[in-house]
Amino acid sequence: MRKIWNFASYNLLSLFSPPIGQEYWHCDMKRGFIKAKKRDPEVKALLEQDTTPQAIGLLAQQGVYEFHHDPLMLYRKDAIEKISATISLSQQSKIVQKRVTKVLENYHNHPFLLGKNIIQLNRGDEGFPKPILINYDNYTFNLYAAIDCIFKESDGTIHILDFKTGKSDFDRRQAYIYLLAAKYLYPKHEAVASFYNLETEVSSNVITATSNQLKAMLKQLIKISKKHQSQLKYYWRNKQEFNQIFPPNPGLPCRYCPFNSICEFSTIEVSA
Ligand code: SF4
């Protein structure tokens, strides 16, 4: 079968246009580093390091997985110690240990998924999700939707749940991408999506989408997928134009940018 390179995902969408309220952190050059220069050794090394928020998100999800992997774990008094050992929490920084332990305590006290008809619960470290091949308007692409959890409501509705950590708001566009994925994965079922923050224990509203809203999201994904592919192709032929293809936005975005140690436009002084 012919290999399809065209793709779209929530990650790609957020690299093109940040969620509402996070516009100040946007920089196109980050997408350039992540997608175009990802095999350059110094970029690759940076991409392989988990940032503190990434480590917390991943370990929190692994913790939830472990609570449900062994059906008796939720009832064990030493569940937090057991799971902390399973996910090697002691090898993490103090801040990661503290915040993930709080997640485990929260979840032990209020197991959000208890009693739900879970169809799929991921650990979060499975790698790339299986792509969903979509052909629309003469454009074929792979949609990647990394789904944390799927459960079935009592009326048969498919419920896609995304776990969050940290303070960022829920992004409705991500829910629409999950619902688009559900349309292909579960074509005979109604689907809804929601978010649950494992640190604050706050749930979003249950999000639904009309077929017009899904179509609009599909078109938006195709638009960014096409633009991304054409920029990548141009970059491969004109590597010296990296700065023009992926323009920098120095200033505030550099503060938490993973590339501020190697980016010539960074406004952050990195100690040697
Ligand atoms: S260091 Fe600043 S300018 Fe460079 S990629 Fe990061 S955010 Fe953009």
The residues, ordered by sequence, that sit 6+ positions from 93 with a Cβ below 8 Å of its Cβ are 52, 55
Which residues is 192 bridged to in the sheet?
Answer: 159
Residue 212: per-residue pLDDT: 97
Backbone angles phi, psi at 35, to 5 degrees: -100, -35
CA 224, chain centre distance (Å): 17
Determine the pLDDT at residue 40: 95
Ligand 1 atom nearest 267 alpha carbon = 2
Name which of 266, 227, 248 is nearest 32 in CA terms.
Answer: 248
**Alpha helices, DSSP H, located in the chain:** 10-16, 28-31, 41-47, 52-69, 79-86, 94-109, 172-185, 211-237, 242-245
The residue behind tokens 């005979």 is 188
The confidence score (pLDDT) of residue 16 equals 94
Burial 188-226 (b: 16+ CB within 10 A, else e): eeebbbbbbbbbeeeebeebebeeeebeebbebbbebbe
- pLDDT value for 168: 76
Q: What pLDDT shows up at residue 23?
A: 85
From 34, 51, 243, 263, the mutation candidate for ligand 1 (largest count of ligand atoms within 8 A of CB) is 263
Answer whether 191 contacts ligand 1 (Cβ < 6 A): no
Per-residue tokens: 1: 């079968």
Other Cβ atoms within 10 Å of 186 Cβ, number: 17
Q: Whose CA is closest to 231, among 220, 243, 219?
A: 243
Cα–Cα distance measured from residue 106 to residue 160, given in angstroms and rounded to the nearest whole number: 21
- DSSP single-letter state for residue 33: I
CA distance 147 to 181: 9
Q: Which two tokens stand for residue 30?
A: 């980050």
The pTM of this model reads 0.92
Does the Cβ of 260 fall within 6 Å of ligand 1?
Answer: yes
CB 266 less than 6 A from any atom of ligand 1: yes
pLDDT at residue 4 in the model: 63
Q: Could you list the pLDDT tens digit for every one of the 272 residues in the chain?
A: 556 689 999 999 999 998 888 888 899 999 999 999 999 999 999 998 878 999 999 999 999 999 999 989 999 999 999 999 999 999 999 999 999 999 999 999 999 999 999 999 999 988 889 999 999 999 999 999 999 999 999 999 999 999 999 987 899 999 999 999 999 999 999 999 999 999 999 999 999 999 999 999 999 999 999 999 999 999 999 999 999 999 999 999 999 899 999 999 999 876 55
Q: What integer pLDDT is reported at residue 2 of this predicted model?
A: 54
Ligand 1 in reach of 248 Cβ (< 6 A): yes
Work out which ligand 1 atom sits closest to the CA atom of 30.
Answer: 5
Torsion of CA 192, 197, 203, 206, to 10 degrees: -10
**In whole angstroms, what is the distance from residue 118 CA to residue 160 CA?**
10
The structure tokens listed for 166 are 């940290």
27 CA closest ligand 1 atom index: 8
Which residues are registered as beta bridge partners of 107?
A: none
